[in-house]
Amino acid sequence: MERVRKYWNKPSRSAYVFVAPSIILLILFSVIPLIMAFGLSFFDVPITMNTAKFIGWNNFVEAFHDSRFLNSLKVTAIFTGLEVPIQVLGSLIVAALISKNNKRNKFLRAVYFLPVICSATVIGIMWRMILHSNIGFITAAMQSMGLGKINFMNTPGLTIYVVSFISIWRSFGISAIIYVTAIQQVSPSLFEAAEMDGAGKIRQFIHITVPSIQPTFWYILMTRFAGALQIFDIIYVTTNGGPNYTTESTVSYIYSRAFSSNSSMGYASAMSVVLFIIIMFITVLMYHRMNKEE
Amino acid sequence: MNRKKTIKIKDIVIQIPVALVLVILALLVLIPVVWMTFSAFKPEKEIISWPPTFIPDSFTLQNFSDVQVRIDIIRYVINSIIYAGGTTALAVVVNCMAGYAYAFYDFRGKTAMFLITLATMMVPFQVIMVPLFLVVYKMGMYDSYWGLIIPRAAVAGSIFMMRAAFTGIPKEMAEAARIDGLSEYGIFWKIMMPQVKPAVITLIILSVNGSWNDLLWPMIVTSSTKMRTLANGLALFIGQNTIEYGAAFAGALISLIPMFVLYIFGQRYFVEGMSSGGLKG
Amino acid sequence: MKKLKRITAVGLSVILAASLAACGGSDGKEDTKESGKAKGTTITFWNSFTGADGDMLVEMVDKFNKENKDGITVDMDISADFDSQLSTAFAAGEGPTMMLSSSAYRFTYGDYLQDVSDVFDKTDLDKADFIQSYLDYCSDGDSLYFVPFQIVGYYMYWNKDLFEAAGLDPDTPPATWNEWQEWAGKLTDESKNVYGSGISYDYAYQIAHIMQRFGGLAVTDDNGKWKANFAGNAGYEKFLNMYKAMADKGDNPVEADTDSMASAGQIGMTAGGPWVTAGLDTAGVNYGIGLIPQGDAGDMNSVEVIGFAITTAASDEEKEAAYKFIEWWNTENDDGSSPALEWSLTNGFPAYTYSVQDKDEYKENEKLSVMSSADPEAPTDFITDSNFPGINAVLTDVIPEMINAVAFGNASVDAALEKAQSSADKIVEDYNK
């Protein structure tokens, strides 16, 4: 027993003990299903997966000729372009402003956290109601203030911004709070030293806060990227891709191909392989950058 | 800790717009949430009406009694607690351990393992859902609490988050503890975990919240109604063709409150955690 | 490269194993009890009846569990995402004993459904009592996959108060689509945010029910081959032009959710399933209900049939127990009422048996009498020939793409129809092989 303990107590070995549970669980419940799903992309499979016909690269060829798939990539790119910078930088600034533990900040943090704990379904119904072009509370209020009638949910070109807003609305609170926990870990003596040198709040933020919380920054950046490129539930519960497919993200389209009654699991898998490669490419680039900076 | 309070004019110039921004943000969040809360106390007729109202004209508790009559709340809440509690307990152990290893050790295959972990974050759940279900089914965990909990414990995002938290701790702390004769596991548990308390609490809140609001997984991995969770129960008010707005909002409030209490409690806790175990630079 | 090959090999073998698992999943379920004894059996029953009617279903099932003398327990699970739940379960060879779904599910899940044509032999249900055209919906050749449960037709609803305000007779709904369009103009009152016509661009079922009255079915049987009828369809063209004209003029809102507007009393005329009345009733709207006006394509009574199906996951005993439930559902109790009748009366769905249609309570019900007033000889097909397996693709892809293109003006009506034709041709081609 003692020998076993000693053996595994060597740092290089204990590392494996630390990662083993997560790796085993991830392989069983994520990697294997993932490989299976990717394998399906070479087959013609119905929703119930009881038959499979090997069709080679056909699903991929079809995807790149499918205007709805190409459109969905464009929508996803726009969405990511809107969401990621605001989530990553905006919530960092907000976090810096509410990082001190006083009454006001605790109250604000609780408020910002509220949308995080609402279920997506309820968020969808709520926003659909208050932004309804006809009987929506906000629409009506804006109209009575003389701001004109805005059809938030049914205007191609506008609705994507509305949906992005709702998505950011829902989760900026959690990004901010994760930043807050990181900022609070920064040693107070660093700020004290800077203060003595006469550095203002903004300079402290740029020269102390930002460099100290880099790992958290990378975490938020990379998870937000992966999350934004897979945006689905907020779209599903608000516009479901409309109007005229201007908010149909790649995963929304994949979902409808996989689970609508007119389903094709193989085709849905092929599209997710394409999406996976895009996300993976971006992530590996960021990962290398992150390793260099850390 | 007790810095002298120096009030500079520059600070005030910054403070005003800052306060303004924070208040606007708070209003953006609060207006819809308050609207929903008010709506839960409105009769159905008033929720959908022209002109729309914000504050209820007539106040009713009907929606709450509807929820209470229509679903077996206690049973559902117990299941939700088991699901959220079980997943979270396991998630804290598994993800913290992994995050710690990626932050503190160098070992062969580290990059590969971390990239594999990251890769699992990049596939929409809807795509791996059916194969994942088959795996769980083959392992004999269909329609059981195990089937609900175990597959959801290891989460790449959480591992990543814990890695970020542990990276912020100076490596010298581990060295010092080693010299003091602590084992690797002792260092992790006794020295390192207390350092990342705020992150652990964030992880707990995220994990509980994720399971609490999760609709899809509990539904497909269990087949009997006695395994249903609160999120499943509340979905019943959102029909295919009609939505019972009042009941849906009342249900949302009922399900929101425990999460909010958990958050308030957690926030208090990590404030304390900071003042007692704070880092000395 | 070698590594890659190995990974692919592993992946494929996993898939193989999985598909084998999927095929063999249902064995080991065989119970070697004496057959013919459904006593004491518990059966699972899945459906997607979220919402208020689901609540009534819960009550009915509870009643059955208490009342039945065979000790059968029905464990009902109402699903918020029926398709995901069903497809994953089937993939593993699991599934409910019994489910409720659209009869169109026989095209998707046919492999997992049992033939239930012996329900008329094994129970006291009389096949002759069931309206034949609805049974046809549930059949494929000689096999019957569903026992009808609910007939979903679409009807017209008009707001009597708004009619009055616009100087129209509140008791006379439009009889033609020309009237609908003309009256929509009169009913619209911009100052009050009121729209005359409520057709949603995002509601394919509503569009389909209306559209087929203009131009007939979108896919028909042409001497044993399926044929799509979009391009050059004068009726469809007329409908799309009408929709566009009303939307441009501001008589029809560009809005996905028109049902809420109708409930709020902001819509003069709309079309929808019987559930629309629930919203209108709760909101206290003073409305009338009638048949959707006829278009150029003649008489039509387009419906969808929802039915009970027994899946292959069910054992013989479970199947028998499920039959008992279906029998109970359609059997009169001592008061002369049956669950089926109660369901029709409460939720406003027309009957699928002659015996229910003949009931006084049924005949006296205002809503139901309107719904049953359709010409009994009128064809009941909905948007495609009722045997066309690709109906869902038409409803989820072809029609939405077409109406969106027209509504948001990035295609002319002709171009949208051409595009719809080519997408529909692709679907049709698949089923003509």
Least confident piece of the model among B201-205, C11-15, C34-38, C135-139? C11-15
pTM: 0.91
How far are the Cα atoms of A200, B173, C348 from residue A183, in angstroms, in the given order?
17, 20, 60
Would you say A136 and A149 are in contact if contact means Cβ atoms under 8 Å apart?
no
The CA distance from C314 to C320, in Å, is 9
Q: State how many domains chain C has.
A: 2
The structure tokens 């594999």 sit at B116
The answer, yes or no, to whether residue B277 has pLDDT greater than 80, is no
Pairing mode of beta strands C42-47, C98-102? parallel
Q: Are residues C398 and C268 in the same domain?
A: yes
Q: Are residues C308 and C260 in the same domain?
A: no
Average pLDDT over residues A84-105: 92
**Token pair of C364 as six digits:** 């006296």
Mean pLDDT value across chain C: 88
pLDDT band at C31 (very low <50, low <70, confident <90, very high): very low
pLDDT at C21: 43
Among residues C320, C341, C371, the one where a domain terminates is: C371
Q: Measured between CB atoms, which of A28, A121, A192 is closest to B238?
A: A121
* Beta-carbon separation of A223 and B51 below 8 A: no
SS3 C31: coil
Least confident piece of the model among A73-82, A201-210, B255-264, C63-72? A201-210
**Cβ neighbours for C311, distance < 8 A, ≥ 6 positions apart:** C90, C95, C96, C97, C98, C99, C109, C112, C113, C114
The CA distance from B51 to C261, in Å, is 11
**Token pair of B80 as six digits:** 């939700």
pLDDT at A5: 77
Give residue-wise pLDDT tens across range B175-201. 899 998 889 999 999 999 998 888 899
Give residue-wise pLDDT tens across range B130-142. 889 989 999 999 9
Angstroms from B114 CA to nearest CA on chain A = 9
Q: What are phi and psi of C305, to 5 degrees?
A: -110, 125
Would you say C341 and C359 are in contact if contact means Cβ atoms under 8 Å apart?
yes
The CA distance from A289 to A283, in Å, is 10
DSSP C350: P
Q: Which residues make beta-bridge pairs with C189?
A: C194
Q: Which residues make beta-bridge pairs with C287?
A: C159
| Amino acid in position C93 | G
pLDDT at B100: 96
C-alpha dihedral (B82, B85, B87, B88), degrees to nearest 10 = 180
C263: nearest CA partner in chain A: A135
Give residue-wise pLDDT tens across range C404-424. 999 998 789 999 999 999 999
**A165 versus B11: which is more confidently predicted?**
A165
pLDDT at B278: 40
Mean pLDDT value across chain A: 90
Write out chain A residues lying below 8 Å of B231, CB-based: 119
C-alpha dihedral (C21, C23, C29, C33), degrees to nearest 10 = -150
Average pLDDT over residues C302-309: 94
Average pLDDT over residues B33-49: 93
Average pLDDT over residues C289-306: 91
* Beta-carbon separation of B239 and C88 below 8 A: no
Residue B182: closest CA among B171, B194, B170, B191: B191
Q: Are residues C296 and C314 in the same domain?
A: no
Would you say A180 and A220 are in contact if contact means Cβ atoms under 8 Å apart?
no
Burial of A210 (0-12, 13-18, 19+ CB in 10 A): middle
Write out chain A residues lying below 8 Å of B213, CB-based: 117-120
Q: Which residues make beta-bridge pairs with C77?
A: C46
pLDDT at B240: 77
Q: Are residues C125 and C199 in the same domain?
A: no
How far are the Cα atoms of C20, C35, C94, C314, C321 from residue C27, in angstroms, in the given order?
12, 18, 10, 11, 20
The structure tokens 């049987």 sit at C221
pLDDT at C14: 47
The CA distance from C397 to C414, in Å, is 18
Residue A49: closest CA among A229, A264, A231: A264
pLDDT band at A261 (very low <50, low <70, confident <90, very high): low
Q: Are residues C46 and C168 in the same domain?
A: no
Average pLDDT over residues C129-148: 92
- A239 vs C: CB within 8 A: yes
Residue C115: closest CA among C247, C312, C400: C312
Q: Are residues C195 and C295 in the same domain?
A: yes
Domains of chain B and any CATH numbers = 9-62 (no CATH), 71-237 (1.10.3720.10)
C31 domain residue, yes or no: no
Would you say B52 and A135 are in contact if contact means Cβ atoms under 8 Å apart?
yes
Give residue-wise pLDDT tens across range B229-246. 999 888 888 877 888 899
DSSP A86: I
What is the number of alpha carbons within 13 Å of residue A73 lying toward its C-beta? 16
Give residue-wise pLDDT tens across range C225-280. 999 999 999 999 999 999 999 999 999 999 999 999 999 999 999 999 999 998 89
Measure CA of the first residue to CA of the last residue in chain B; give whole Å.
13
SS3 C98: strand
pLDDT at C335: 85
pLDDT band at C2 (very low <50, low <70, confident <90, very high): very low
Would you say B26 and B19 are in contact if contact means Cβ atoms under 8 Å apart?
no
Q: Are residues C287 and C405 in the same domain?
A: yes
Q: Are residues C402 and C284 in the same domain?
A: yes
Angstroms from C334 CA to nearest CA on chain A = 41
> Which residues form the domain of C68?
38-152+304-371
The answer, yes or no, to whether residue B216 has pLDDT greater than 50, is yes
Q: Are residues C138 and C264 in the same domain?
A: no
* Beta-carbon separation of C264 and B241 below 8 A: no
C116 domain residue, yes or no: yes
pLDDT at C123: 93
Q: Are residues C254 and C132 in the same domain?
A: no
The answer, yes or no, to whether residue B4 has pLDDT greater than 60, is no
SS3 C154: coil
Would you say C373 and C357 are in contact if contact means Cβ atoms under 8 Å apart?
no
**Token pair of A181 as six digits:** 């926990």
Predicted ipTM of the assembly: 0.89
- Count of C-beta atoms within a 10 Å radius of residue A61: 12
* Beta-carbon separation of A48 and C112 below 8 A: yes
DSSP C194: B
How far are the Cα atoms of A59, A165, A249, B28, B30 from residue A235, in angstroms, in the given order?
25, 11, 8, 20, 21
Give residue-wise pLDDT tens across range C181-206. 999 999 999 988 999 999 999 999 99
Write out chain A residues lying below 8 Å of C193, CB-based: 134-135
DSSP C356: H
Q: Measured between CB atoms, which of C50, C55, C92 is closest to B137?
A: C92
Crossing angle of the two packed helices B62-70 and B245-277, in degrees rounded to 10:
90
pLDDT band at A1 (very low <50, low <70, confident <90, very high): low
Q: Are residues C128 and C218 in the same domain?
A: no
CA angle C287, C290, C296 (to 5 degrees): 135
Q: Measured between CB atoms, which of C22, C263, C275 is closest to B134?
A: C22
The CA distance from C47 to B232, in Å, is 14
Angstroms from A189 CA to nearest CA on chain B = 7
Which range among A188-202, C86-100, C414-428 has the greatest average pLDDT? C414-428
The structure tokens 């020269």 sit at A207
Q: Tell me chain A's radius of gyration from C-alpha atoms.
A: 24
How far are the Cα atoms of B271, C30, C34, C120 from residue C114, in angstroms, in the given order?
61, 16, 20, 14
pLDDT at B270: 63
C310 domain residue, yes or no: yes
Give residue-wise pLDDT tens across range C359-411. 999 988 888 888 777 777 788 899 999 889 999 999 999 999 999 999 998 78
Would you say A203 and A146 are in contact if contact means Cβ atoms under 8 Å apart?
no
pLDDT at C9: 41
Angstroms from A195 CA to nearest CA on chain C = 56
The answer, yes or no, to whether residue C32 has pLDDT greater than 80, is no
Chains sharing 3 or more CB pairs under 8 A with chain C: A, B
| Amino acid in position B56 | P
The answer, yes or no, to whether residue B163 has pLDDT greater than 80, is yes
C383 domain residue, yes or no: no
| Amino acid in position A17 | V
| Amino acid in position C372 | S
- Count of C-beta atoms within a 10 Å radius of residue B265: 11
C326-358 as b/e: b if 16+ CB within 10 A: bbbbbeeeeeeebbbbbbbbebbbbbbbebbbe
For an interface test with C, give the residue of A51, A151, A244, A247 to mutate (most C CBs within 10 A).
A244
What is the number of alpha carbons within 13 Å of residue C157 lying toward its C-beta? 30
Q: Are residues C201 and C263 in the same domain?
A: yes
pLDDT at B242: 83
CA angle A75, A78, A84 (to 5 degrees): 125
The CA distance from C215 to C233, in Å, is 6
The CA distance from B58 to C163, in Å, is 28
**Cβ neighbours for A57, distance < 8 A, ≥ 6 positions apart:** A42
Would you say C395 and C208 are in contact if contact means Cβ atoms under 8 Å apart?
yes
CATH code of the domain covering residue C90: 3.40.190.10
Topology adopted by domain A68-293: MetI-like fold (1.10.3720)
